[in-house]
Amino acid sequence: MVMIPFWRRKIYPPGYLLGGYKVIRVIGEGRFGVCYLVGLDGKQYVLKEIKPKGLKKSGNKVIFEKKILSSIDHPAIPKIIDTIKNDNIYAYILEYKSGKTVEDMIFGDNYIFTPSEIYKIGIRIIDIIKYLHERNIVHRDIRVPNVIINEEDVYLIDFGLARVVNNERYIPSVDFSYFGHLLLHLYYSSFKKTNRKSQSWYDELELSSSELKFLKRLLGLDEEYKNIYDVEKDFLTLEIGDL
């Protein structure tokens, strides 16, 4: 096998071997890392390679994901399986969660989420956030590309920005804001614009009074939620469409 100098290499092609794992395809690429679907012994995994510039610019921050994932165990969160670290690559192997991201479903498939689906997804995301916050972990990136749907299962991925709560920069309420924006994406999947004039989401969307109040509190437009238990309590009583 021909070795490609690390500084020249960008994307590994299908069939390339990395620490014994065979590259199947690229899943996604961010500023500091590239994720591949890889295979080993008939099983599929996610290999997340940290780019050289990511290591150089962020230093020890890039290893937070590994430390946090190694400390938790939840069926909706990918487990860390292995680490590959040598002169050519720094990467770790994650459990592969099959399904589609909310981003792909909305913007790729034009999928329309029903009120019932929004409620079920919301409940599962709250369950994940509750698990993390009870362990003083804040995800800080609960966005449409990081939530995977597979029928009734909902997964939260990409813990690259996750941190231990310190009540200064890393605070639980950050996750509430992200959760609010995620819900707005789900609501907007069924929205049909009737005029050219842009309006605020709370004017465009047909929301119940409880939904409106809940979302405004999540997004910090009204009194912010203090903890995930209050978020859960209010969400369970929401009137979401015709459930």
Count of other CB atoms within 10 angstroms of residue 177: 16
34 has which bridge partners? Answer: 29, 49
DSSP 16-61: -EETTEEEEEEEEE-SSEEEEEEEETTEEEEEEEEPHHHHHHHGGG
User: With the C-alpha atoms ordered 125, 126, 128, 133, is the resulting torsion angle positive or negative?
Assistant: positive
Distance CA 174, CA 166 (A): 12
84 has which bridge partners? Answer: 91
Distance CA 153, CA 182 (A): 16
Strand, coil or helix: 118: helix
138, 181 Cβ separation under 8 angstroms: no
Task: Find out whether 192 is annotated in a ligand binding site.
Answer: no
The yes-or-no answer on residue 141 being catalytic is: yes
E strand spans, the chain: 17-18, 21-29, 33-40, 43-50, 80-85, 90-95, 100-101, 137-138, 147-150, 153-156, 163-164
Residue closest to 80 by CA, chosen among 57, 63, 104 = 63
Structure tokens at 95: 């459990």
Structure tokens at 239: 């009137």
Q: Which of 82, 104, 127, 141 is an active site residue?
A: 141
Instruction: List residues forming the annotated binding site.
Output: 48
Cite the active site residues.
141
Instruction: List residues forming the annotated binding site for ATP.
Output: 48
